[in-house]
Chain A
Amino acid sequence: MTYRETNISVSLASSLLVMGYYLINWLPMYQDEGLNSAVIFRLWVITIVATIILNILGNILTSIVLSIAHAIKTQSDVEPRFVEDERDKLIELKGSKAAYIAFSIGVFLSMLSFAFGQPPLLMFSLIIFFSIAAEITSDVLQLIYYRRGV
């Protein structure tokens, strides 16, 4: 697995973790007592902050682990070159496009829920859900492109 693939896999794992946390907390709240603004705002903040922190930590840890693995493999202290070439950029671009489309559809569906009389809190909850789902879509698609070819 290359540096980029490892990075994407870590990002995918962290997004799935955040998505799991979000759904586990959000679904019972929605089904049982309805959406309470004080509690839901807290959940949104935790979700967004956790996404940012996990992504940064994931990137740092991946770089450290891969650098150590490279040093052990080559028996030298020369830093590995994590080059990003045109294929990486193309795959990243395609992933971003997929994320953009997924998020746009998500925002549209969220607004539809509001148009059909659902509370605004549900709309914003859905937008956050679809933003994480878009990130997951992008990561999965990028991994597929790396495996099957562009």
Chain B
Amino acid sequence: MEKYRVQNNIRKLRFYHGEMTQEALAEKAGVTRQTIIAIEGGKYAPSLELAFRIALAFGVPLEEVFSYTAEEESG
């Protein structure tokens, strides 16, 4: 079975929103900056509610922030 993982465009979206800081995004989403860092780095897949809150913070639909894509096979 193919492996899927949650990927995100948070870094890109922060850049397009006037280089929004992780702290500012964390404040808007109601989480800690460390959680934003973990999500951005692909180390944590957020809950559906948090994913919506992050999308809301950027004012874009959820699928513009997160995608569920197949992992590339290595080797």
Contact = CB atoms under 8 A, between A and B. Distances in A.
Interface of A: 2, 83, 85-88, 146, 148-150
Contacts of A2: 32, 34
Contacts, number: 34
Interface size range on B against A: 10 to 19
Interface in B11-52: 30-32, 34-35, 38, 41-44, 46-47, 50
If over half of B's interface residues share one DSSP class (helix, strand or loop), that class is named, otherwise mixed; here it is loop
Contact of B31 (A85, A148, A149, A150): A85
Contact of A85 (B32, B41, B42, B43): B32
B44 A85 contact: no
A148 B43 contact: yes
Given A86-B50, A87-B38, A149 B32 contact: no
B35 to A, nearest CB: 5
Nearest to B43: A149
Nearest to B30: A85
15 contacts: A2-B34, A83-B30, A83-B31, A85-B31, A85-B32, A86-B47, A87-B32, A87-B46, A149-B38, A149-B42, A149-B43, A149-B44, A150-B38, A150-B43, A150-B44
